[in-house]
Structure 1
Amino acid sequence: MGLVYIEQLEEMSVEKMQQTHENEVKILNAIDNLAISYDRGEATLDELEQKIDEYVEHVHKHFAYEEGLMQEYNFPSYDMHKTAHDMFLEELQHAIKQWKRYEKVEKITNFIRRAPEWIVLHVNTVDVPTANYLAKKMGSVAT
């Protein structure tokens, strides 16, 4: 069982955005599986932390890519979309600080387990219209 499934997300009309979201789903589910395995003594803290670090790096690259496209193609709702990204990143950074300060991995895994709700809502209501706009501006549906 996973935290989130790609089928919960609407299809993107920009292929790289689609692939990025699919990768994010895989990483989130891998973190959840590692957290469960860690709790059972079947995975190491290092394995779990490496996957969490991968997720953080992925999110930063994901948002930077989308924001770059929105700027390049003068997306009219750029500020709103970027604000949503910034708020998510702020919450993620807070969870990381709590994890590091208290040395309790639960501080970050609890955030990770809540993230899919935000991701599904954001993708389906914000990213899909953005991708549709970008695809039209780019003149194709495959980027």
Structure 2
Amino acid sequence: MGMIYAEQVEYMSVETMQQTHESEIKILNDIDKLAIGLDRGTVELSELEAKIDEYIEHVTEHFASEERLMLEYNFPSYDMHKTAHDMFLADLQYATVQWKEYGQIKKIINFVRKTPEWIVMHVNSVDAPTADYIARKLQQSEA
């Protein structure tokens, strides 16, 4: 059983955004499985840490890609959307420092396990309208 499923979030009208969300959901669920395996002694810490590093890189690229699209298509709520990303990244950075500098891997695992609620809210209320706006702009430019 996963922490979050693609069906919980709105389908994006921009395919690259949809693929990014699906990839991120898979990584989150993989981290949860690895963390459970670590607790059971069936997974090495290095395997879990590598997957968490993959997640951090993915989130950073995910947000940067969305922000580039919003700027390219003059999305009117860019500042609000970027602020939401920046706040999430600040929390992620804090959890990462607790893990990497102080050895508190539970801090980053707990952060990851709390993100599904944020993701569902953000994707459904912020990303979906953004994707719809960009999709309309793309259609207009193709016409």
Shorter-chain TM-score tier:
over 0.9
Q: Residue 33 of structure 1 aligns with which residue?
A: 33
1:53 has 2:53 as partner:
yes
Q: Could you tell me the TM-score, scaled by structure 1's length?
A: 0.96
Q: Residue 116 of structure 1 aligns with which residue?
A: 116
The code of the aligned residue for 1:12 comes to: M
The code of the aligned residue for 2:73 comes to: Y
Deviations 1:96-130 (A, max 9, x none): 11112321210100000001110000000000000
The code of the aligned residue for 1:54 comes to: E
Q: Residue 93 of structure 2 aligns with which residue?
A: 93
The within-5 A match list for 1:60-99 is 60-99=60-99
Q: Could you tell me the TM-score, scaled by structure 2's length?
A: 0.96
Structure 1: gaps of 5 or more residues:
none
The code of the aligned residue for 2:114 comes to: R
The code of the aligned residue for 2:21 comes to: H
The code of the aligned residue for 1:78 comes to: Y
The code of the aligned residue for 2:19 comes to: Q
1:102 has 2:102 as partner:
yes
The code of the aligned residue for 1:66 comes to: E
CA-atom RMSD in angstroms: 0.8
- CA distance in 1 between partners of 2:133 and 2:117 (Å): 24
- Size of the aligned set, in residue pairs, is 140
Q: Residue 17 of structure 1 aligns with which residue?
A: 17
- CA distance in 2 between partners of 1:46 and 1:99 (Å): 13
Q: Residue 6 of structure 1 aligns with which residue?
A: 6
Deviations 1:57-95 (A, max 9, x none): 000110010000000000000000000000000000000
Secondary structure at the aligned position of 2:74 is classed as coil
Q: Which runs of 4+ in 1 moved over 3 A?
A: none
